[in-house]
């Protein structure tokens, strides 16, 4: 691992909910990449089904990941905050 970087490939949690404050017990451990829709039954009558794999896309999920920031990141909160702010949420 390079100095100042952390690997975030493992340790993710997922819950099929739109409640970002859901209790930890609602979450399950998942590996990335992850697609919760794959568990749903396919619907061949789904509008735009071919580009969505015939899976319904009307659900919302929450991912969680916890990490400890490196000490050298101290004082760089604004940079980290801006990086996180620019990430897009796709529903």
Residue 89: band (very low, low, confident or very high) from pLDDT cuts 50, 70, 90: very low
Residue 61: band (very low, low, confident or very high) from pLDDT cuts 50, 70, 90: confident
pLDDT higher at 13 or 8? 13
Residues 6+ apart with CB under 8 A from 49: 43
| pLDDT of residue 1 exceeding 50 | no
Provide the greatest CA pair distance for the chain: 53
The alpha carbon dihedral of 16, 18, 20, 22 has a sign of negative
Q: Output the six-digit token pair for 71.
A: 């000490």
In 1-91 the beta strands, taken as DSSP E runs, fall at 12-15, 28-30, 62-64
Residue 22: band (very low, low, confident or very high) from pLDDT cuts 50, 70, 90: very high
Residue 78: band (very low, low, confident or very high) from pLDDT cuts 50, 70, 90: low
């Amino acid at each position: 691992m390079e100095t100042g970087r952390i690997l975030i490939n493992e340790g993710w949690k997922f819950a099929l909910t739109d409640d970002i404050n859901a209790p930890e017990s609602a979450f399950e451990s998942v590996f990335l990449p992850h697609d919760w829709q794959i568990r749903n039954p396919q619907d061949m009558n789904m509008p735009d089904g071919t580009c969505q794999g015939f899976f319904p896309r009307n659900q919302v999920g929450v991912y969680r990941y916890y990490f400890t920031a490196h000490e050298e990141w101290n004082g760089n909160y604004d940079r980290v905050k801006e990086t996180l702010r620019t990430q897009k949420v796709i529903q």
